[in-house]
Chains A and B, each alone.
Chain A
């Protein structure tokens, strides 16, 4: 589904990402791990179109997408979350989900002004879809609350629900477990796996929490200082010497 080849990103004199390659196939959960500052979020930003990579190719469903702007990439079926939760805090939970469905709604001004049947139908469908996903992530009772007033863990789940409501093919999660306690992390595990199983969504995630990564990933990519270090199943990576050295330093 997603093919990244020799991705590079240079900021002036700094080469933040150097020849990184990775793959995500259908029905897979792939993780990217690495020490802090390794360039993981930069890779995400390149793939999702927020940065224009200075080198390399990115192919999604066979189509070349490197350099395409962020909103176009999102419309192709790749959505992402952010390291620091980015919600529309003054809007309610359900409104956040409505905004995400903007593309599927009737945006004709006159239809809206006159409240035509087709307009009302689409709005209702959007609300139903929003309700479904809120229920799925356990936020249904909070539907009318301001998003900014949610607890941190709830905000994280809202962000994921917001992504899912766009019916993506690839979900990119940037440190979804950051700041969550072990119970919440376990729930997150279940949620991500069920997204893969029940909704046929592939997941690419960046994470520091090893338990999460080891438990749910089909494959893991390790990046250090912008360069790829290792790639393989959780077992392989766990036993890879280079990886151990990178995380723990030279003995």
Chain B
């Protein structure tokens, strides 16, 4: 019974982290699907979202605001605002001028942007990690109070629900709205979409903004969950989210969600049963294994070369 509870705990933790990874992974997968480039700076956008949320919360606290829902909503709005603006700006400044060139060029530009943003926040806010208040506390436990108890915290539930809402909203948006349709068109054939009068630049910007907003949400959620932020944690999270996106099949939004969950669960299982040190090794190992058998990822479409 104990073992089952322990397993369940790892599962719950894994799904929680996994859904947050999924939120970040969507940003990678949408950008890749639409312009075929790896947005290396996306992890930093997530990190900036987390920092902005923290700044807002601290600011509101010092103004004496105490009503939790208000704090969260304002923090969310501010984080989304700043992250989307940053995402938009990065696309305009670093990616648009080099779009369409040989693959390596946007990649280097993205890596450069990632380094730039990491140091930007480092210089502005210092390099040590800063505590993030755990605003949502408590949860339920079940199991025997004398031995192991599985707990689900309200924070975890919040993460699940928020992620679910975001995913549903995104799916509806992509399938129903005009811009969503345009996104799908552009991701299939940029040239053609252009010829049909779709303002592809605007759609591409929209993609970056959507990805950045979701990353900001993840920033707020994970900031509260982990309890701290530092300028470098975006890179690691970004790498994991990108791994998740590739695992699920890059370019596929359901793939990003699936990949995120799988990655989260594998990490937490490794931490729980082997050792926390090796969880990244297992994650990458999993990626390599899956790519060996499904080179385009789990839900990725196999490419047929046109000869």
Contacts and interface: CB of A to CB of B under 8 A. Distances in A.
Contacts of B304: 11, 51
A1 B304 CA distance: 29
A80 to B, nearest CB: 10
A54 interface: no
Nearest to B305: A50
Contacts of A45: 307
Band of interface residues on A: under 10
Contacts, number: 7
Contacts of B307: 41, 45, 50, 82
A65 B142 CA distance: 62
A50 B304 CA distance: 10
Interface string B263-307: 000000000000000000000000000000000000000001101
Contacts of A51: 304
A234 to B, nearest CB: 28
Nearest to A83: B307
A18 B307 CA distance: 19
A14 B230 CA distance: 52
Interface string A50-85: 110000000000000000000000000000001000
A159 to B, nearest CB: 14
A51 B305 CA distance: 9
A155 to B, nearest CB: 17
A41 B306 CA distance: 10
Contacts of A41: 307
B188 to A, nearest CB: 15
A107 B305 CA distance: 29
Interface string A78-105: 0000100000000000000000000000
A50 B305 CA distance: 9
Interface in A19-63: 41, 45, 50-51
Interface of B: 304-305, 307
7 contacts: A11-B304, A41-B307, A45-B307, A50-B305, A50-B307, A51-B304, A82-B307
Interface of A: 11, 41, 45, 50-51, 82
